[in-house]
């Protein structure tokens, strides 16, 4: 339509009236769908404060929900204002590309706080109340742990599942089932949570680190075979951030060298390699249900396996050496070692409730991660972690990328993280170099290890653990976004990408700060 002869004032009055009419109609329709009290499920407006982020330890602080959630009244006011604003032909807000970073006096690219985690609904409350009222809180006289074990085995496609008190307990039970002990060696990645290391040294076995693949942040499977010795008892790959390690190479090495693979899948719920769930490829897989995990009961874990004999060995180890079979005297004792690593009925009931929305949450993370990656791939200096070709599904427990300061005017990673967090996108630098931690280095002088392996071997071990240059570089450049961010909307992914673009455009000024 041409401008000549138009009556702008008449059209404004007309559009105002139509806009108000449409706005009121939308309000009437939508108000019927909105309860007086807010839901606490996935669709709610519960958010984490901007400064909250799950740290590199995997621990987190879960704050209370916002005190001003949506109600019918607040929704009515908001939609009325929106309808009126649209009707009068209000100009859209200036594009965020033109705004300055918050650290330079601008406004947030991501003004709301990220989705709250964990998600709870009435289903979770009913599950916990049922256990409470049953007075059967221990797996020995309850039904929930057994129900969960059966459900989780079915979910991942394994024959057997042993539920444990934590992901660390799952790894401990699996290595206990292997009868790992002094003189044995276990191959593991350096880019992992300290628990992967701890479960090895708890058995007085020797942890052998293999360097990190800088593109994927996973263990470099091409370097694993050269680390195998006659004392290697297990290979313990970690599916870091919920993406599978290079299982084709690792499984081939394990088969040829007759070394069992124990998959640390603590972060990898529902992840798949070539259409099959991780945790089911090796001898066993270990999962965690800690507070930050995609499936959570605060703490909890599970060992899954297709080997029934191995499952029974893990069960005995996790239950004070007592098996599932009973004699007249009670549970059958066997083996030589055991502990109490059992899951409670409360945890199992909560997990069963949380599992009802695991698939939908996983699908949303998958879609958002793919969309976010498509945008970040266009930015200089931002390289999303590679996902191996065999991966048919990642759990996206973390969204990781490498940060190149040279493309951001030399701005340090810590300054980038500060700027990103101030834009409303909580982020962290992830793991520090685990083998360089004094806690790990102290093993070289630990009296039991000196007695078992000798001073010469432990000195050589210490030198080897410090020769992991690629892992050091990954730790220096990594940036983590946590899984709850990926439960947001597609618009939220746009805002995350725009926050990074904005920081890059103004990186010269930010670097000076």
pLDDT digits (tens, 9 = 90+) for 390-428: 999 999 999 999 999 999 999 999 999 999 999 999 999
Q: Tens digits of per-residue pLDDT, 3-13? A: 444 443 443 43
Looking at 108, 277, 293, 502, which residue is catalytic?
A: 293
Say what the pLDDT of residue 332 is: 73
CB 268, CB 293: distance < 8 Å: no
Q: Is the peptide bond before 466 cis (omega within 30 degrees of 0)?
A: no
Say what the pLDDT of residue 52 is: 34
The closest of 43, 42, 140, 44 to 348, measured between CA atoms, is 140
Per-residue b or e along 170-207, where b marks 16 or more CB atoms closer than 10 Å to that residue's CB: bbbbbbbbbebeeebbbbbbbbbbbbbbebbbebbbbb
Q: Tens digits of per-residue pLDDT, 459-496? A: 999 999 999 999 999 999 999 999 999 999 999 999 99
Phi, psi of 89 (to 5 degrees): 70, 35
Higher-scoring residue by pLDDT: 375, 113: 375
Burial of 351 (0-12, 13-18, 19+ CB in 10 A): buried
Q: Per-residue pLDDT averaged across 502-509, rounded?
A: 98
The closest of 288, 285, 305 to 397, measured between CA atoms, is 288
Higher-scoring residue by pLDDT: 63, 505: 505
Q: Per-residue pLDDT averaged across 291-309, rounded?
A: 98
Higher-scoring residue by pLDDT: 129, 36: 129
Say what the pLDDT of residue 507 is: 98
The closest of 170, 199, 194, 166 to 299, measured between CA atoms, is 166
Say what the pLDDT of residue 29 is: 40
**C-alpha to C-alpha distance for 299 and 151, rounded to whole angstroms:** 18
Please indicate whether residue 293 is annotated as part of the active site.
Answer: yes
Say what the pLDDT of residue 105 is: 95
**C-alpha to C-alpha distance for 383 and 74, rounded to whole angstroms:** 41
Say what the pLDDT of residue 58 is: 41
Say what the pLDDT of residue 387 is: 98
Q: What confidence tier does 41 reach under pLDDT thresholds 50, 70, 90?
A: very low
The closest of 201, 231, 232 to 449, measured between CA atoms, is 201
Question: Average per-residue pLDDT in the chain?
Answer: 85
Say what the pLDDT of residue 330 is: 64
Burial of 6 (0-12, 13-18, 19+ CB in 10 A): exposed
Say what the pLDDT of residue 48 is: 38
Q: Answer yes or no: is pLDDT of 27 > 60.
A: no
**C-alpha to C-alpha distance for 265 and 171, rounded to whole angstroms:** 10
**C-alpha to C-alpha distance for 465 and 262, rounded to whole angstroms:** 21
Lowest mean pLDDT among 75-89, 95-109, 227-241: 75-89
Per-residue b or e along 475-509, where b marks 16 or more CB atoms closer than 10 Å to that residue's CB: bebbbbbbbbbbbbeeebbbbbbbbbbbbbbbbee
| Percentage of the chain lying above the pLDDT 70 cut | 80
pTM: 0.81
């Amino acid at each position: 339509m041409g401008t000549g002869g138009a009556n702008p004032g008449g059209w404004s009055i007309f559009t105002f009236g139509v806009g108000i009419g449409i706005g009121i109609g939308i309000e009437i329709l939508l108000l019927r769908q909105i309860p007086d009290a807010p839901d606490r499920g996935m669709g709610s407006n519960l958010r984490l404060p901007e400064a909250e982020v799950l740290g590199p330890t995997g621990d987190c602080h879960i704050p209370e929900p916002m005190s001003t959630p949506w109600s019918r009244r607040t929704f009515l006011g908001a939609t009325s204002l929106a309808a009126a604003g649209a009707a009068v032909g209000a100009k859209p807000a200036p594009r965020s590309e033109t705004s300055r970073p918050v650290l330079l006096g601008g406004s947030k690219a991501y003004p709301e706080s990220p989705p709250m985690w964990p998600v709870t609904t009435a289903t979770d409350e009913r599950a916990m109340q049922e256990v409470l009222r049953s007075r059967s809180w221990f797996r020995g006289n309850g039904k929930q742990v057994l129900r969960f074990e059966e459900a989780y085995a079915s979910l991942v496609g394994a024959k057997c599942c042993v539920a444990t008190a934590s992901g660390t307990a799952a790894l401990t039970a699996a290595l206990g089932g292997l009868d790992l002990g002094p003189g044995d060696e276990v191959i593991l990645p350096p880019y992992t949570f300290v628990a992967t290391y701890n479960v090895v040294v708890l058995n007085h076995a020797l942890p052998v680190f293999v360097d990190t693949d800088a593109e994927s942040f996973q263990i470099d499977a091409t370097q694993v075979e050269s680390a195998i010795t006659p004392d290697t008892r297990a290979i313990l790959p970690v599916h870091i951030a919920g993406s599978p390690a290079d299982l084709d190479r690792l499984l081939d090495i394990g088969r040829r060298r007759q070394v069992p693979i124990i998959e640390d899948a603590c972060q990898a719920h529902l992840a798949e390699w070539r259409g099959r769930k991780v945790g089911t490829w090796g001898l066993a897989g270990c999962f965690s249900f800690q507070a930050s995990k995609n499936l959570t009961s605060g703490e909890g874990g599970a060992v899954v396996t297709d080997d029934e004999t191995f499952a029974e060995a893990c069960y005995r180890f996790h239950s004070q050496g007592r098996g599932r079979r009973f004699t007249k005297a009670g549970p059958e004792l066997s083996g030589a070692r055991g502990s109490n690593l059992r899951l409670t009925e409360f945890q199992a009931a909560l997990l069963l409730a949380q599992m009802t929305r695991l698939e939908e949450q996983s699908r949303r993370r998958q879609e958002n991660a793919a969309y976010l990656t498509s945008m970040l791939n266009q930015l200089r200096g931002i390289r999303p972690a590679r996902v191996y070709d065999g991966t048919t599904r990642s759990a996206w427990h973390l969204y990781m990328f490498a940060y190149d300061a040279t493309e951001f005017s030399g701005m340090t990673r810590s300054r980038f993280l500060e700027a990103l967090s101030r834009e409303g996108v909580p982020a962290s630098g992830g793991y520090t170099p685990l083998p360089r931690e004094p806690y790990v280095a102290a093993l070289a002088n630990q009296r039991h290890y000196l007695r078992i392996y000798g001073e010469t071997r432990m000195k050589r071990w210490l030198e080897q653990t410090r020769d992991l240059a690629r892992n050091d570089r990954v730790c220096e450049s990594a940036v983590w976004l946590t899984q709850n961010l990926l439960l947001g909307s597609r618009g939220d992914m746009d805002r995350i990408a725009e926050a990074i673009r904005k920081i890059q455009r103004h990186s010269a000024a930010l670097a000076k700060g």
